[in-house]
Amino acid sequence: MRSACRSAAVCCFGLLAVAAAVAAQTQVEGVTAASGAVQRARAFMLQGQRDSATELLGRHLSQQPNDGRAWFYLGSIYLAEAQHWHRAGHPPETSSASLLDFASTSFEPAQELLTDSGGVFRVLVAVERAVLRIEKAGWDSVAARKLAPDELPLPPVLVELGRNLLASCPRNGVLLTASLTETAAVWGTRLLGERSDLILLRADMYQWDARYRTPMARALGADPAMDLAGALAVAALTRPVCLAPAVDSIAGPGLAWHANRLVLVTMAPAATFAPPLSMFHFERTGLAGSVWTASARDVYDLAARRNRALCTTLFAATDALNPPAIPACSP
């Protein structure tokens, strides 16, 4: 069944690019015939020829279905298009859901072929699908939904990061994320059903996507006409608001922010609610183990720069010969 889906996906990619078939045959300046399919597709993308890139990758994958990098790059193109659909004002002639289907159908074989980021980007597809549900039926449609673990194949180091960030926000809080790593880790863990008391907010989308802002403003108890800062000020009257490390406190300029574990928060958490934080997978995997270990380290580093107490607690060296790998905590 999965092989059939892949074949169908390649056919769909070809059909979508029929109008650009002639352009796809044109030699790209500076790219030789010996270059790999991904490199040539990147060259097309740099020239704004997205259809040529997908058509090229589709033809390549019909002949080389075990090229994990090509599957991953093809999925990345469609995921980016699905995300751009929101910025473009939700054009009716394009379906974000279909683009996400194409992206998912590409990331699955990328993950199976052990491409490092295939599973993480499947999680990002799930996040984008959650956004579509929010726009259609509100935050509650996502809050009540629990996905299966095989739909959210995060590497353990990002599951741990997600749990640490969720555990840093007090009960019934609102947690804002910004970076790709934060969003994948936090949303991927939350969509498994953990910390169902928290509302997750995409700070970037709230600013420029009215279709997303309206239901999320309702969840925050704010007026959709308010900007992000105003909505956070209203939400902070009744619940803690938390900023993940990559979210600047300028998002809520009128609020008093306090460092709490890995986040900034508008009010002190209740002493009875303090789930433990863990660095087990981060320390076990090591920076050489996965690109996502290094990416998680960057999030922890941002947190330590805002909360220096972490350097003597969570990030404290356990062995004099192995100092913490968090730059902000290095001597």
Is residue 330 within 8 Å of residue 305, measured between CB atoms? no
Q: Write the pLDDT tens digit of every residue in 146-176.
A: 898 888 999 999 999 999 999 999 999 999 9
Q: Average pLDDT of the chain?
A: 84
Measured from the Cβ of residue 241, the count of other Cβ atoms closer than 10 Å reads 29
pLDDT at 227: 94
pLDDT at 93: 87
- Residue carrying the six token digits 């796809």: 24
Give the integer Cα–Cα distance in Å for 209 and 90.
Answer: 9
Q: Write the pLDDT tens digit of every residue in 278-311.
A: 998 888 776 666 789 899 999 999 999 999 999 9
**Could you give the dihedral angle defined by the CA atoms of residues 59, 64, 69 and 70, in that order, rounded to the nearest 10 degrees?**
10
Task: Give burial (CB, 10 Å; 0-12/13-18/19+) of 87.
Answer: exposed
Query: Higher confidence at residue 268 or residue 199?
Result: 199
Q: Write the pLDDT tens digit of every residue in 230-279.
A: 999 999 999 999 999 999 988 889 899 999 999 999 986 555 567 789 99
Backbone angles phi and psi of 232, in degrees to 5: -65, -35
From residue 73, how far is each of 35, 56, 215 by CA, in Å?
A: 15, 12, 32
Is residue 150 within 8 Å of residue 221, measured between CB atoms? no
Q: Is the dihedral of CA 168, 172, 176, 181 positive or negative?
A: positive
SS3 label, residue 136: helix
Q: Write the pLDDT tens digit of every residue in 101-124.
A: 999 999 999 998 866 688 999 999
Above 70 in pLDDT, residue 42? yes
Above 80 in pLDDT, residue 20? no
Give the integer Cα–Cα distance in Å for 107 and 117.
Answer: 9
Amino acid identity, residue 204?
A: D
